[in-house]
Amino acid sequence: MGAQEEGEEVPHEINAIGISFGNSNSSIAYTSSEGKAEVIANEEGDRYIPSILSYIEGEEYHGTQAKSQLVRNSQNTVAYFRDYLGKDFDSIDPTPCHASAHPKKHESTVAFSIQDTESDSQNDVTVSEITTRHIRRLASSASDYLGKKVNAAVISVPTNFTEAQKEAMTKASQAAGVQLLQMISEPTAAVLAYDARSDAEIKDKIIVVADFGGTRSDIGVIASRGGMYSILSTSHDYETAGAQLDQLLIDHFAKEFIKKNKTDPRQKPKSLAKLKLEAEATKKALSLGGNASLSIESLADGVDFASTINRTRYEMLAAKIFGSLTRMIEDTVRKADLDILDVDEVILSGGTSHTPRISQNLQRLFSPKTRILSPSTLPTAIDPSSLAARGAAIQASLISEFDKEDIEQSTHPMVTVTPHLRNAIGVMVVSDDTKKGLFTALVEKETAVPCRRAGIFAAPREGGDVMVKVCEGARDIKVTKKEKAKTNGKAASDDSDLDSDDEEDEEEIREKIWKVGTVLAEAAIKGVKKGGKVEVTVHVGADLGVVVTAREVGAKGGVRGNLDKPRLVENGSA
């Protein structure tokens, strides 16, 4: 497929990048010729570029430079605007913009009143226009780095981005000279970033993507099936994210300052802005070391301020917020009709996910079998701040050759909307400790059809005739109570999250077991030789009809049979 020309005057070469565009930060990434996603640093060397624009006498500042303007030039600094795109004023939350240019109602959209030209006049600049300017700056940084003009992109957006928001994003991007090839959801982008690694193995697994950002936290529970992703549940929280952690440190240091100086630096916008920037830096430092210092020249009333804080103290202050993030994950797993034990992987994404304590808490929440992918729990984890941009870059490289129509058709609901199995399909095997036989899943539930899965089974030691019994299975949780060994005294003092104090003496041991459901078919493989193996393949059609094949590995022939499709395919209003 080549770029279509269709009489357009510019036969353009598509240079596509991936963009993650958050309220707090944005990142740009490209896919190298070896197929590896790489994050691009802008001219200032930043890989996480604050989504902020600031204007001084008509000059535009972007990213980190713009962020530092929050102290002196807050009224002409536009920040935390991504979520306003494509929304009307009534439905936005202006909280994050309290210390920068305020959003205001502008016709049916949102605008910021700023002095963005050399003249003294206040201009209403719509959020769409701000977005265009922001994307233009991002694309330009990418073009500089890549040495060729970037003119297309895949952008990651939250799962609850509305159609109107997507439309506004497309237009804003277009206006920046960047064709928006596709918007992909942030959690999916994170999963793709991991799956695109050369050593990644495509397996059926349940993944929780926990995206802890600056102004929001988003959880997505994803069924990853044969390299395809279906989102089972999501939740969003705008009250528990990086900004609230900054606030804890702001309050902590402010109190310290008040003790010495009798003034509250939070009462003065400039002092507060300074304190906020430094508190955030301190917070980030605490993700790396056990101690962090903070030093601000002329914090308030011309008084300098310097202090330190250690990680333990910080984690105590933040225990409640951390606990709330953990609970949010539990809730979202439950919302997907799953159990904590069903989760195979947790991908920590977003800047706040650098916080070691958050992933440690998750290690305790999940079973030891669950992989927690975060810098502090897995050395090979990908930088959480970059996941969405990397995923977007991978997708961009996959579709940059497609024309618009092609992309539209491939992402059409007729293609994406698919029946997903309600139960697992598997085969009964013999195990020492059960007389009834044991269910072994071949196809997991929530697998989109059509699908095909195969398993190679051992035969009885002496070979002979064997039975292949294909069934549906449902996962169940078996709970056994065990007397807890009484421990003297309290739990370790680093136990800082909000465990209930009235703990029982009994400990519950929970494990995953299979409940055998409908028997689908029986098949016989006769005369299997000693030490032989049997391969069973289950193929589920798009209409939920099933084809089962079974044969002795290395032998000719075998058995093949069909099962009718069920009479009705229920919709998802379960």
Partner 1 sequence: MAAVQISLPLPVLPQGWTEEKDFKPIGQLSSATQRNIEPVGPHFLAHARRKRHKRTFSEDERIQAQENVKKIDDDDAGEISEPEDPLMLQRDAKDWKGQDHYAVLGLSKYRYKATESQIKRAHRKKDLRHHPDKKAAAGSSEDDSFFKCIQKATEVLLDPVKRRQFDSVDEAADVEPPSKKQAQKGGFFKLWNPVFVAEGRFSKIQPVPRLGDDNSTKEEVEDFYNFWYNFDSWRSFEYQDEDVPDDNENRDQKRHVERKNNNARKKKKTEDTARLRALVDECLQGDERIKKFKKQERAGKDKRRLDREAAEKKEKEDKIKAAEEQERLRKEAEEASKVERAEGRKAKEAAKNAVKKNKRVLKGSVKDGNYLLPAGQEAGAKRIDEVLNDVEAVMAKIEPEEMALLASKLNGLKVAEEISTVWSEEVKRLVDAGKFKEVDMKVLGK
Ligand X SMILES: Nc1ncnc2c1ncn2[C@@H]1O[C@H](COP(=O)(O)OP(=O)(O)OP(=O)(O)O)[C@@H](O)[C@H]1O
Which residues in 525-554 contact partner 1 (CB under 8 A)? Answer: 525-526, 534-535, 537, 540, 544, 546, 548
Degrees to nearest 5, angle at CA 55 with 50 and 57: 155
Decide if residue 17 touches partner 1 (CB under 8 A): no
Q: Which is nearer to ligand X, 67 or 266 (CB)?
A: 67
Decide if residue 568 touches partner 1 (CB under 8 A): yes
Among 260, 422, 478, 530, binds partner 1 (CB under 8 A): 422
As beta bridge partners, residue 251 has none
User: Binders of Mg ion among 194-213, rule CB under 5 A?
Assistant: 213
For residue 485, the partner it binds in ligand X, Mg ion, partner 1, none, with Cβ less than 5 to 8 A by kind, is none
User: Binders of partner 1 among 445-504, rule CB under 8 A?
Assistant: 446, 448-449, 453-461, 464-469, 472, 498, 502
Secondary structure, 3-state, 501-560: CCCCCEEEEEEEEEEEEEEEEEEEEEEECCCCEEEEEEEECCCCCEEEEEEECCCCCCEE
Q: Which is nearer to ligand X, 205 or 276 (CB)?
A: 276
Residues at the contact surface with ligand X, assessed by CB under 6 A: 22-25, 48, 213-216, 241-243, 280, 283-284, 287, 350-352, 354-355, 385
Decide if residue 102 touches partner 1 (CB under 8 A): yes
Among 56, 303, 520, 555, binds partner 1 (CB under 8 A): 520
Decide if residue 62 touches partner 1 (CB under 8 A): no
Which helix (H) or strand (E) segment holds residue 464: the answer is strand 464-483
CB of 213 to Mg ion, least distance (A): 3
Decide if residue 86 touches Mg ion (CB under 5 A): no
Which residues are within 8 A (CB) of 501 and not within 5 positions of it... i.e. 6 or more apart? none
User: Binders of Mg ion among 339-358, rule CB under 5 A?
Assistant: 350
CB of 340 to partner 1, least distance (A): 17
Would you tell me the crossing angle of helices 242-261 and 269-288 to the nearest 10 degrees? 120
Which helix (H) or strand (E) segment holds residue 365: the answer is helix 356-365
User: What dihedral do alpha carbons 370, 333, 166, 26 form, nearest 10°?
Assistant: -40
Nearest to 32 by CA among 149, 146, 140, 139: 146
Q: Which is nearer to partner 1, 177 or 558 (CB)?
A: 558
Distance CA 81, CA 103 (A): 8
In one-letter notation, the amino acid at residue 57 is: E
Among 36, 89, 177, 339, binds partner 1 (CB under 8 A): 89
CB of 489 closer than 8 Å to CB of 458: no
Decide if residue 416 touches partner 1 (CB under 8 A): yes
Decide if residue 417 touches partner 1 (CB under 8 A): yes
Write each residue from 1 to 40 as x if it is in contact with Mg ion (CB under 5 A), else as -, in one continuous string.
---------------------x------------------
Q: Which is nearer to Mg ion, 22 or 532 (CB)?
A: 22
* Residue indicated by tokens 């970059």: 386
Which residues are within 8 A (CB) of 500 and not within 5 positions of it... i.e. 6 or more apart? none
Distance CA 515, CA 424 (A): 10
Where do contacts with Mg ion occur on this chain (CB under 5 A)?
A: 22, 213, 350
